[in-house]
Structure 1
Amino acid sequence: MKDIAQKVLVGLFMVGSMVSWGQNIGEPRSMVVYKTNEPMQIDGMAKEEVWGKAQISENFIDIEGVKTPTYQTNVRMLWDENYLYFYAELKEPHVWANLKQRDTVIFYNNDFEIFIDPDGDTHNYFEFEMNALNTVWDLLLTKPYREPGAIVDSWEILGLKSGVNIEGTLNDPSDIDKGWSVEVAMPWAVLKETSGSNKVPEGDFWRINFSRVNWDFDLIDGKYYRKKDANGKFLREYNWVWSPQGVINMHEPEHWGYAYFSPNEAGNPDTFAIPKDEQIRWLLYRFYRDQKKFFSKNKKWAQKLSELPTKPLLADGTKVEIDLEVHRAGWSIQAKSPFTGKLYLIQEDGKYHP
């Protein structure tokens, strides 16, 4: 299974990287995640009153950040001392699924996906997928696919709870459905493993994104199948996300959204603004992509910042003090925040050091 997952996901990354080096997608989206003290039943229905007080995300958008998806998707989050909770509503006139084995390639069905990078360094992050049969796939990636790394398919979210509710009839083409909804509870005990802290991130933010994969379908003998073209090849899937990636590739964690874990209980409003120093992160990843392109073309790293197209400037024109160091193992770029004076660093494998 691990070999299959690796081939499939690397294939998706290659498609994404060939499409574009990235659209100008602007600032990532953000969400306030409120606390709950209400007992939660994970059944996909979100019957608890507290869900009505949770922040509802913006409508999902096409992964590149331009097109409006055919069907609407929204997500909410809550947290308590034991779990991080997710609830998503997916509009869909034909709800279907046929994959029943855990840790199979779930996105071969229409699915809902969660991506979590607790410490925001783009390494050691989690991916979770589920379909309308409540079949799940959870895995840990030590690095994005643009860098050599391990896909830990045997990793599991111990204590995971998930549920699906279908507004319609599963796998029945004779009627028109309204859609399906999913509810997920992930234990902090597992999620904190790569966060660098044993504490629940109350008052802090994590980088999180959500994706929905949708396929055109054919009906054969009354059953749903992914649609093929005249040559027998599957048509491309649709990728709809919460925070746009700019490329057809979910595995660029620097583009994911910001989930702020408010100390306030749901119903007691709070606000969150992405810290100004995050602009340094975005700038350093532009330099990182420049270096990758420079190496691809010249078979060596740029030795000077002047060899790269990105300028040491923020979007508003603020100048940033930047230092590039090239060494035997690769390179690193360090930046000093003009806002706080803090130093930030990115290295040749894309790992970010706040």
Structure 2
Amino acid sequence: MKYKLLLFIIGVFALNSAYAQNPPRSYIAYKTLDEIEIDGRAEEASWKEAPRSKDFIDIEGDKVPKYQTYMKMVYDEDNLYFYAKMKEPHIWGTLKQRDTVIFYNNDFEIFIDPDGDTHNYMEFEMNALNTVWDLFIVKPYREPAPIVDSWDIQGLQSAVHISGTLNDASDEDDYWSVEVAIPWEVLKEANIHNNIPEEEFWRVNFSRVNWDFDLTEGRYSRKKDKNGEYLPEYNWVWSPQGVINMHEPEHWGYVYFSSKNAGEQDEFEIPEDEKVKWMLYKLYRKHKNYFSKNKKWASSISEIENKPIKLNGETLQPKLEIHLAGWNIAVISPFTGKQYIIREDGKILTSKIK
């Protein structure tokens, strides 16, 4: 596959990263007030009343990006809508073929994991030419699995608005904005409930990739250093990852789908059980690192975590289970009584204790 090496590098980073120091952000998506025209401008009442997200931050969560970015979301019975506005003095793009590696240009990206188990999630990218790349990812790159690059979002609508001039270095631009509509019929394919998630939440994140550039005879391209190597890109995201890797879905933000209309007020707090899952991912990483160091799996949880695990005044008691197909770590939530299990491949399972 054309980005096979990239997947290997990302997977290495994923296994050795620390959990994000900043908690995930949350956003409330409201219902539309009117019909949305996908033109990149967001001039409808729905968009004017929709809350504006916090400005994007550097992917590691500790630096303010050079250029401002924010997003909005609304939904109706047919589509989930996205809008993002990106300040940019030089708006350029060169890639025109669908499903090419769009982040080799400056781009905007959407990541969606409907059931929050970090498996079977969707990625969407687009550049200032409105060239798109959509793919379905069976597992994060840290675990071997197929990546369905040929998967397309049926019924997708997308548009770009440019305040400035595209691919013209003779002037300074203001911003570019994108508007995207993804049909629920496509999104429900990876949702175990197979419905519109009204009064539910999904794990979602957004990324903006920005490159330093060179100009050759008026043509933009990614900037190289004196040795001819591309300079690293900037990764600006809505919810910080704590590591330069978007493919750790457990760090993504929370989008709650309100039953109220845009302009009304609703509330959402990240449930305590989500924090139990965050703890399981810490143990998952520690166990992977234990194997990397010792060339064998641990036989008990105390070998990978020898201190009590506290969460909001409660003590969690995870158990490591070794079986013929691998291992898993299970814990019962002191908040709801539900049991959460993280498998060897990082997938989260949920069950009720009778």
Task: Give TM class, smaller chain.
Answer: over 0.9
Return the match for 1:184 from 173, 180, 186: 180
Give how far 1:321 is off. 2.5
SS at match of 1:147: coil
Return the match for 1:107 from 90, 97, 103: 103
1:220-276 per-position Cα deviation (integer Å, ceiling 9, x unaligned)? 111111000011000000111011111110000000000000000101110100111
SS at match of 2:272: coil
Q: How far, CA to CA, are the matches of 2:226 and 2:92 in structure 1? A: 23
Counterpart in 2 of 1:169?
165
For 1:6, the aligned partner's letter is K
Q: What does 1:51-200 align with in structure 2 at a 5 Å threshold?
A: 51-200=47-196
Answer yes or no: is the 8 Å Cα contact 2:11–2:143 preserved in 1: no
Return the match for 1:349 from 328, 332, 345: 345
Counterpart in 2 of 1:255?
251
Answer yes or no: is the 8 Å Cα contact 2:198–2:257 preserved in 1: yes
Answer yes or no: is the 8 Å Cα contact 2:24–2:239 preserved in 1: yes
Counterpart in 1 of 2:272?
276
Counterpart in 1 of 2:294?
298
For 1:135, the aligned partner's letter is T
1:53-112 per-position Cα deviation (integer Å, ceiling 9, x unaligned)? 111111111111111111111001001111000000011100000000000000000000
Answer yes or no: is the 8 Å Cα contact 2:201–2:257 preserved in 1: yes
Return the match for 2:6 from 2, 5, 8: 8
Give how far 1:312 is off. 4.8
Answer yes or no: is the 8 Å Cα contact 1:283–1:314 preserved in 2: no
Give how far 1:309 is off. 3.3
Q: How far, CA to CA, are the matches of 1:309 and 1:344 in structure 2? A: 18
Gaps of 5+ in 2: none
The count of aligned residue pairs is 350
Return the match for 1:230 from 215, 221, 226: 226
Counterpart in 1 of 2:321?
325
For 2:212, the aligned partner's letter is D
Answer yes or no: is the 8 Å Cα contact 1:167–1:179 preserved in 2: yes
Counterpart in 2 of 1:26?
22
Identity, % of aligned positions: 61
Inter-CA distance 265–312: structure 2 relative to 1 (3 Å threshold): farther
Q: How far, CA to CA, are the matches of 1:344 and 1:233 in structure 2? A: 45
Give how far 1:199 is off. 1.1
Gaps of 5+ in 1: none
SS at match of 1:33: strand
Output the aligned Cα RMSD.
Answer: 1.4
For 1:123, the aligned partner's letter is H
SS at match of 2:30: strand
Q: How far, CA to CA, are the matches of 2:270 and 2:203 in structure 1? A: 11
For 1:302, the aligned partner's letter is A
With the length of structure 1 as denominator, give the TM-score of the two structures.
Answer: 0.96
Q: What does 1:27-42 align with in structure 2 at a 5 Å threshold?
A: 27-42=23-38
Q: How far, CA to CA, are the matches of 1:317 and 1:272 in structure 2? A: 22
Counterpart in 2 of 1:214?
210
Inter-CA distance 346–312: structure 2 relative to 1 (3 Å threshold): farther
Inter-CA distance 324–123: structure 2 relative to 1 (3 Å threshold): same
For 1:82, the aligned partner's letter is D
Matched, 1:336 2:332: yes
SS at match of 1:114: strand
SS at match of 2:98: coil
Q: How far, CA to CA, are the matches of 2:20 and 2:26 in structure 1? A: 17
Give how far 1:299 is off. 1.5
SS at match of 2:309: coil
